[in-house]
Amino acid sequence: MSKKKAQAEGYRVLRGINWPAAADEGGEKRAEEGEVRTDLPAEHIAQWIDVGAIEPADMSGTPAAEEV
Amino acid sequence: MGFTHGKGTKFLLDLADGSGPSDISALFRSAQGLEGKSERPLTTTFGASAQRRQLLGLRDGGPIALGGLRQDTAGTKIHGKSTRILHDQYAMHGFLRTATLRRMVSLPDTTVFNDTWRRRGLVGLLDGSLALGGLFDGAAAALDVVWRAALAAQAPVLISAAAGGFAIGNLVDMGQFVVNSYGVNSPHDDTTEASADFDSDDRIDLGVSLHDLTAEVGTMNGASVNETAATSLGWAAHLHVTAITGSGCTIKLQDSADNSVWADLAGGTFSNVTAITKERLEGAATATVRQYVRAIISVMGASSITFQVSIARRGFTYGSAATYRHLIGLYEKALSSTFQYGPDGSTSGKPRFSGECRLSSLETSFPYDNPTAFTAELLTDGAIAEDVF
């Protein structure tokens, strides 16, 4: 699965995650376990996948490492 | 005259990552034991009129006993009055005056033919104990009730002890213990006191506090703690909830590689809190914990909750020289550590004893009216070299 396709179909959250957000958005955003999110910040996706916190929502394919 | 004052003593020891040896003399105020023993077995036979000792047996660097003042940060001593101790869902420091926490590890003899010095090349089972003493209090949820219940229970109790209090980032000794004795002393002319002895059930870990024992009233992300480096040999965590108003609170542990992007630690979500309680979580033996850690409240149904959380990494190899973490890092370390001991200082030409050793015990004493102190015992592994700095 390409990175673009994965982003379009979203990522399933396996463990709760937090990421920085603007101060007027509360400083930090959070996604809970079980959610499928399409708004995760692209620059952090590889790190979350590495630690098993998220996975592509459609697991029919896995994003190539160089695409993530 | 070559007499030497002890104040000039130098002691150097490897760090937990194997680097060194580093000068940690400033941590200690007593060192004794070297240069060890020479075994002199009896060789008396028929016909002798007195005991004979004609053979030089094995030599043994033996134990090196070190005593000092605990420093969680290099150069900063801690007064015992700052000690805080949690026992399950109870804050016990309001009753206690003394505490002695002891870590031990068996170091079996691995000496073989052709060795002339005793060797201790393996790390055996870890063990530990805790002795607490304080003022008797028979009120509900006070010392007498809590300790009598623990004495009668099969399940261990969770103990978290912080020499400098539970402010986020402070070091916390963490373990589960069973009580083996409880006594009350009633003098006719003084305060009634009580004491209890605990034995550890499983290992005693060294962690960091992720939340002080204070109240929260909503969801929150706790301040992060930078633990220097990621680890991948598991972890343990303690939660102590001493007060709650209302019901329903989810407390989680999170880790991060960059202090910016966070993920819940696998297995690091405590049970939904509905009453005062305690809980211990343990990660898998190879669980990774990234460099930064924090505690969060992700769901808050209660109107207020007072709790303390700590996490302990296993297999850490960081820790500044001459700190408590430095010594704990040597506990159960598979590789031996190099030491150098200079009774007359370490200037060029002064006598030096050096060799390999392992930490066999570390005892921390928390008195209410004196600095927090420790004694450590190092057992040597193999020959002691005698030369000069």
- What's the rounded Cα separation, in Å, for the pair B86 and B157? 10
| Size of chain A in residues | 68
- pLDDT classification of A2: cutoffs 50, 70, 90: low
Q: Say yes or no to pLDDT of A64 above 60.
A: no
Taking 70 as the pLDDT cut, the residues of chain B under it are 35
Site from A18, A40, A43, A45 to mutate, B interface, most B CB atoms within 10 angstroms: A18
pLDDT at B303: 94
With an 8 Å Cβ cutoff, is A45 touching chain B? no
Q: Quote the minimal CA–CA distance from B18 to chain A in Å.
A: 28
Measure the CA–CA gap between A41 and A50, rounded to whole angstroms.
Answer: 15
Nearest to A15 among B221, B266, B290 (CB): B266
**A1 confidence band (pLDDT: 50, 70, 90):** low
Q: Which H or E run contains A48?
A: helix A42-50
Q: Give the residue carrying structure tokens 């960091």.
A: B208
User: Helix, strand, or coil here: B6?
Assistant: helix
Residue A66, pLDDT above cutoff 70: no
* Option in A17, A33, A52 nearest B262 (CB): A17
Q: What is the ipTM of this complex?
A: 0.80
The pLDDT confidence band at residue A4, using thresholds 50, 70 and 90, is: low
Q: Do the beta carbons of residue B358 and residue B329 sit within 8 Å?
A: no
Tell which residue, B112, B109, B83, B104, has the closest CA to residue B95. B83
Asked if A16 has any chain B CB less than 8 Å from its own CB, the reply is: yes
Alpha carbon distance B166, B215 (integer Å): 13
Contact B384, B355 (CB under 8 A): yes
Q: Are B83 and B372 in contact (CB under 8 A)?
A: yes
Residue of A nearest to B257 (CA): A47
Using DSSP's 3-state secondary structure scheme, residue B65 falls into: strand
- In this prediction, residue A23 carries a pLDDT of 76
Distance CA B160, CA B157 (A): 10
> A16 contacts in B (CB within 8 Å)?
252, 254, 263-264, 298
Beta bridge mates, B135: B193
pLDDT at A7 (0 to 100): 65
pLDDT at A5: 65
pLDDT of residue B48: 96
User: Between A16, A19, A47, which is nearest B264 by CB?
Assistant: A16
How many residues are recorded in chain B?
A: 389
- The whole-angstrom separation of Cα A18 and Cα B333 is 35
- Alpha-carbon distances, residue B310 vs B74, B125, B202, B208 (angstroms): 21, 24, 17, 5
C-beta atoms of B257 and A44 within 8 A:
no
- B265 CB neighbours in chain A (<8 A) are 15
How many percent of chain A have pLDDT more than 70? Answer: 74
Tell me which residue of B272, B258, B241, B323 sits closest to B69, measured CA to CA: B323
Pairing of strands B225-226, B22-23: unpaired
Cα–Cα distance list, B216 to B164, B249, B316 (Å): 21, 10, 31
A44/B290 touch (CB, cutoff 8 Å), yes or no: no
Burial class (CB in 10 A: 0-12, 13-18, 19+), B259: middle
- How close A38 gets to chain B, by Cα (Å)? 17
pLDDT of A65 = 45
- Assign 3-class secondary structure to B328-371: HHHCCCCCCEEEEEEECECCCCCEEEEEEEEEEEEEEEEECCCE
* Chain centroid, CA B175 distance in Å: 10
